[in-house]
Every structure is written in structure tokens, then in C-alpha cells.
Amino acid sequence: FFLLTFLVRSINPLLLWQRFMSRYLDPTAPFVELVTALFVTLALQQLVSERGTGPVWKKLEQLPRYAVIFVVALCAALGASSYSELKADDHHPFNTGTELAEVTTNAYQRNLPIVIHKGHGAGQSYARDVFAVYAIYIDPQLLVRDGRLPSFDEAKRVSGSMTYLVKDPNSYSAAKVNAMADAGCTIEVRESTPSMTISPWGILPPSCDAELAN
């Protein structure tokens, strides 16, 4: 955590190595629980050793052995509360991720474009949400080419202010992508808060397959 606070990827402009978002810290949760349980145990043992006289302290002397169980139970209760809160938010990525994966995988499998447009004033990282779609949501078995998984830079296509993904780039030119967009046959990725969204939010209609064949 100390290093995450001060490490940077770039000085000009200044970019943090990792943003302070809870999902990035989740992998450390088991270790935090262990350290917390150890601290509670040692603190109780020290307290009893310094003040341990009388029947009350004799009973407290037995508590350190239950510290781990207490901490794990507390973490489980907090986790269950957090899970219930997330499930209640229909627009949270926790709930929308599965549907997003289904929609983008379907479009890629059918060779329909997944696009993002560079907005006014956007930096070089404007296509990062399409990169997230490529790296996380599309079925990796569909991404394999010639027996290997190509990098995003190999898979993406750039045309002016637009970056797009298609399964078979040979089927597309910039004009064809624009024509598919005019026909409502692309999945447009848009950055929003707290995460990305896509438009339309749903499986593209069968008529898009005929549009692609024209």
C-alpha cells in the first residue's frame, strides 16, 4: 500500500501507477485479515499480561485464541453486507459485467464492429475501454489467430478518430464501418462513471448480418 501511494507511471503528465479503486485492492484482503487477526491476538495477550489479575482478566485471558475466528466472522459479515448492496444496484459493473460480455462476444463472433470514437480533447488512452472489452469481456477462444492470442495493438484497427475491433479485419474498410454504424449495426463503447457502457445495450439484430454481407 505504501508503494501504491507513491509509484507513478509517468511524470509528465503525472499518472499514478494504480488508481485507488476498491477492486484493485481486493486481492490483498486475505492478507489484511490475517494481519488484523494477528494484531488483535497480540494486543489482547499484551493487555492480559500487563493487567491480568482477578477473575475477569482470567476470562479475558482465553479470548486471544478466538481472535482469528472473530476477525474472519466480522469480515464475512461485512462481505455479505457489501455483496447485498452491490446486488441491489442494477447499474453497477458487478451486475452488468455478464451481460456486457454476452453482447460484445456475440458482436465479435458475428464479425460486427465494436467501436469507440475519440472525443474532443481526449488523450492517447481514449481507446482503453475497447481494450478492456478485448482483454476481459470477449471470449478469448474467439480472439485466437494462428494458434496464438494477439495483443490488443495487433487486433485493433484505427481509422481517423475511431478505434474498432472486428473478428475479420479484411472484411472492413473505414467506409464499411461507417456504413454499419449508420445502419445501427455496431456496438459503440462509451466511457462513463463509474465504468464503461455500450450502445445499444443488447444483442444486435439479425439484419446486421445481411448488412455486413452487402
User: For each of the chain's 214 residues, which pLDDT tens digit applies?
Assistant: 666 667 777 787 777 776 666 667 777 778 887 888 788 778 877 877 777 666 766 676 676 677 678 778 888 898 889 888 877 877 777 778 888 999 999 999 999 999 998 764 455 556 888 998 999 999 999 999 888 999 999 999 998 888 999 999 999 988 999 999 999 999 999 876 556 789 998 999 999 999 999 8
Instruction: Look up residue 170 and give its three cell numbers.
Output: 479484411
Q: Which of 143, 123, 144, 147 is nearest to 134 (CA)?
A: 143
pTM across the whole model: 0.65
Distance of CA 60 to CAs 43, 57, 76, 96, 181, Å? 12, 5, 24, 47, 70
In this prediction, residue 179 carries a pLDDT of 93
In this prediction, residue 112 carries a pLDDT of 96
Parallel/antiparallel/unpaired status of strands 187-190 and 197-199: antiparallel
Q: How far apart (Å, rounded) are the C-alpha atoms in residues 82 and 54? A: 41
For 44-63, b where at least 16 C-beta lie within 10 A, e where not — what string?
A: bbeebeeeeeeeeeeeeeee
In this prediction, residue 2 carries a pLDDT of 65
Element (H, E) at 117: strand 114-117
In this prediction, residue 121 carries a pLDDT of 47
Q: How far apart (Å, rounded) are the C-alpha atoms in residues 2 and 122? A: 31
Q: How far apart (Å, rounded) are the C-alpha atoms in residues 10 and 196? A: 24
In this prediction, residue 3 carries a pLDDT of 66
In this prediction, residue 127 carries a pLDDT of 80
